[in-house]
Every structure is written in structure tokens, then in C-alpha cells.
Structure 1
Amino acid sequence: MAKQTKPSVEVFEVPCPDCGAMIKIDAATGHVISHTPAPRKRTFEDLETAAKAMRERDERAESIFRQSVDAEKNKADLLEKKFAEALRKAKDAPEGKPLREFDLD
């Protein structure tokens, strides 16, 4: 009787080109066996740089907020001007029934 040998399982270990994670793939089935995430990269080198970035982000947010407040203050004037222009156009428009799409057929 011949001795049965267990088929060798070939596994490929491949680095992900996008995120750098290590992926183990079974050669026979093509399925992912395991996934090891890449080590996280530090966003900032030291605490001082992180604090500076936070201050800059807060200043940008404050600036955007001030711009939106100013726009809201001027909104009433802008709407008033748009209404006056629309009213002027309505007065200059010829009187009569407005045309509808099916009236043109």
C-alpha cells in the first residue's frame, strides 16, 4: 500500500500596494487566509507640531464662521435687491396671460 502524502499547501505572502498591509493568500483556492494591517504612521512628529496644527485648524474654522456671519448679515440686503429687480421686471413685462407649453403647439 502506498503511503498517502498530504498535499503541500502553498501560501503566498503579498504586501498590499495601497496600504502596506501583509496579505496571506492560499495558492490553491486564491482566497485570503489572513490580513495583517500595516503599522500606523504618526501624523505629527512631536506634541508642539500637533498643537500648532490644532491652532491653525481652529483659526481657519473661526475665519469661516466669521465669513458666514457676515454673509448672513448681508443676506437681507441681497434678497431685498433681488426682489426689487424681480418687481421691476414684472412691471416691465407685457400684460396678458402667460404662455403655457401646450399653448405653443
Structure 2
Amino acid sequence: MAKPSQIRVFEVACPDCSAILRIDAETGLLISHTPAPRKRTFEDLAAATKAMREHEERKESIFRQSVEAEKNKSDLLEKKFAEALKKAKDAPEGRPLREFDLD
């Protein structure tokens, strides 16, 4: 067995997660893994609070829009139905022509 002073170890930074990997040169096995330090999402508590308020306002706005859309849904569906009925009356009667029938 090799003495601790004779062991060759490589330290490699992971290109994906920036973790530090210690690898034994002789065997190529991983000796240790040191995870990369986590990045802070916000610099301070005030910024985090502001982001949270903006997120809540955005959720509330989306909810209000969905309520308004639901209120007008029946009118929209009636208009779509009337338009489809009008198209069906204007369409020629009989079976539609297919490319196969034209040969």
C-alpha cells in the first residue's frame, strides 16, 4: 500500500455543476466530492420581499383575467356557434369532393 505522501491526486472542477472532484491518479477512482457553493437567489431580504409581492400581484392579475374570461365565455361560445351555423348554411350540399374522386 502506498504511503499517504506518495498518493497522487488530481483536483478537477466539474464543468456542469462546478463541484470539485478529487481523483486518484493510479486507479482513476473518485476519492472525494465537494459540491459547489450555492448561489444566492436574492442579495438581501428586501429584494426577496419585493419579488414575492410582484409574484403575488402577477398571480392575482392572472386570476382576475380568468374570472373575466369565464364571465364572457357563454357570449363567446354563442357567437362561435352562430358563425359555424352560418358557414354550414352557406356550404354547398352533398358530399365534399376528394382528390380520389377527381381521377
TM-score under structure 1 length normalisation: 0.73
Partner of 1:62: 60
What stretches of structure 1 of length at least 5 have no aligned partner? none
Structure 1 residues 52-61 or 24-33, which shifts more?
A: 24-33
Shift of 1:29: 4.5
State the identity as a percent.
76
**Residue pairs, 1:1-105, within 5 angstroms:** 6=2, 9-99=7-97, 103-104=101-102
Q: Distance in 2 between matches of 1:69 and 1:31?
A: 59
Cα–Cα, structure 1 residues 30 and 6, in superposed 2: closer, same or farther, change >3 Å? closer
Structure 2 length as normaliser, TM-score? 0.74
* Structure 2 CA distance for partners of 1:31 and 1:67, relative to 1, 3 Å: farther
Structure 2 residue runs of 5 or longer lacking an equivalent are: none
Q: CA RMSD in A?
A: 2.6
Give the Cα separation in 2 of the matches to 1:30 and 1:6.
Answer: 15
- The offset of 1:103, in angstroms, is 4.2
User: After alignment, is 56-65 or 72-81 more displaced?
Assistant: 72-81
SS in 2 for 1:88: helix
Query: How far off is 1:48 after superposition?
Result: 2.3
